[in-house]
Amino acid sequence: MIDHEAEKELVTHEIDVYLYPNHLPAIPGKYIARSKTGSPLSVENVCAAAVERGGVTIPYADLVRSVKAYLVEAAYQLTDGFAIENGYTGIYPKISNTFSSLHDPVNPEVHKIEFGFRALKPLRDLASHVQIHLRGLADVEGHVTQVEDTFSGSINHLITPDEDIIINGDKIKVAGEDTSCGVYFFTESAEFKVTHKLVKNGAAEVIARVPALAAGTYRLKVRTQFSTSAILLKAPRDIVSDAEFEVQA
C-alpha cells in the first residue's frame, strides 16, 4: 500500500508544466507536458541563489570565480577527450557521423566533436522528490517550445551567427502575403530578420539561418499569418519565445 502522506514529506521541489499539442507521431498521446523554463540560469544566477538559500560559506564573488574557473578547466579537459562527471551530471565527448573504412580521413565538416549529457544517480534521486503541477493548455495562439543551435547543440541559450537553428513549437509556420512575415531576432532597440531561405518551414518545426548578429542578447519571434484552417489570418501575429539567446564574442 502506498503511503501518500510519507510521499508528501519527500516533496522538496515543484515544477509548473503546460500541455502542448503533440506533433511527433512516434510519441503516443495528444499532448506533451513541458515546463515553462524561459532562459537558462547563468553561473551568477545559480551562485546568487546558493548564497540566498544558505549553506555557502564563501563570499558570492569568490563563489562565482571558483565555479567559472572549474568550468573553464572542465571545458579544457573535455576538448582533450576526457569525460567529466561532477556528481550530478556526466559530459562525454564524441565524434559525429561514421567512417566508411579504416583509412577514411577525418572530415571536419562531417566528423564534428559533440558532447553527450546524462543525469547521474544523485540528480535522478532528486527528481523523485519533484511534484508536478499541470497548469492546463499552453497558449493556443502559437508558441515556441525550444530553439536548438545546430552548431553548438545549445538549447534555448546560445546561437551562432551564419549557422542554422531548429525552432520547435506550434503554429509557427511562416506564411502570408504580408512582407513582414518571417523569423526575427530582436533587442529593445533593433530587430534583425532572417534573410536566407528557410531550410524547413512547418507548423511544428522551422529551420532558419541565424543572421550575422553582433555579440549580445536577443529574443526570437516568428511573425506569420499561418492558421490551421485553409484561410490565412487577416493580419500577421507575433509568436515570441520565452527564452533569451546569447551571441558570444
Residues 209-220: tens digit of each pLDDT: 999 999 999 999
Q: What is the mean pLDDT of the chain?
A: 88
For 119-169, what is each residue's pLDDT tens digit?
A: 999 999 999 888 888 888 766 578 898 999 999 999 999 999 999 999 998
Question: Hey, which CATH number is domain 11-134, 4.10.520.10, 3.20.20.70, 3.20.20.10, 2.40.50.100?
Answer: 4.10.520.10
Whether residue 8 has pLDDT greater than 50 = no
Q: Which of 42, 90, 88 is nearest to 243 (CA)?
A: 42
Whether residue 23 has pLDDT greater than 90 = no
C-alpha cell belonging to residue 83: 569525460
Q: pTM surpassing 0.75? A: no
Give the mean pLDDT of 185-194.
95
Give the mean pLDDT of 225-248.
89
For 88-127, what is each residue's pLDDT tens digit?
A: 999 999 998 899 999 999 998 889 888 999 999 999 999 9
Beta bridge partners of 33: 19
User: Where are the CATH 4.10.520.10 domain residues in the chain?
Assistant: 11-134
Q: What is the dihedral of CA 62, 64, 68, 74, to 10 degrees?
A: 80
Residue 203 CA from chain centroid, whole number? 19
Query: CATH number of the domain at 140-247, please?
Result: 2.70.50.70
Are 131 and 9 a contacting pair, CB within 8 Å?
no
Are 85 and 77 a contacting pair, CB within 8 Å?
no
Assign 10 a pLDDT band (cuts: 50, 70, 90): low
